[in-house]
């Protein structure tokens, strides 16, 4: 279970880094994803899990591969 939590933290950081590389605020990305800024903030801080469907949408909007988002190294 601890390993899963660690992976969610890294996934959230990867999403956050990709968002910042695109020069998007949480509000801007959340709007493009049709979710609230609070929802996105919880994903980025690993306080909330993420659906595969939303992960694919994030990948598309941020122009990064799912593989990059799942880079746990």
Please tell me the pTM assigned to this model: 0.91
SS3 readout for the chain: CHHHHHHHHHHHHHHHHHHHHCCCCHHHHHHHHCCCHHHHHHHHCCCCCCCHHHHHHHHHHHCCCHHHHCCCC
Look up the CATH number of domain 2-68.
1.10.260.40
Structural domain boundaries in the chain: 2-68
Sequence-ordered list of residues with C-beta below 8 angstroms from that of 8, at least 6 positions apart, any chain: 46, 49
pLDDT tens, position by position, 16-61 = 999 999 999 999 999 999 999 999 999 999 999 999 999 999 999 9
Residue predicted with more confidence, 3 or 33: 33
């Amino acid at each position: 279970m601890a390993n899963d939590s660690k992976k969610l933290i890294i996934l959230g950081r990867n999403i956050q880094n990709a968002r910042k590389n695109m020069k998007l605020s949480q509000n801007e990305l959340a709007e493009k994803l049709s979710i609230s800024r609070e929802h996105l903030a919880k994903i980025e801080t690993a306080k909330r899990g993420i659906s595969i469907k939303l992960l694919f949408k994030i990948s598309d909007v941020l122009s990064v591969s799912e593989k990059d988002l799942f880079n746990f190294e």
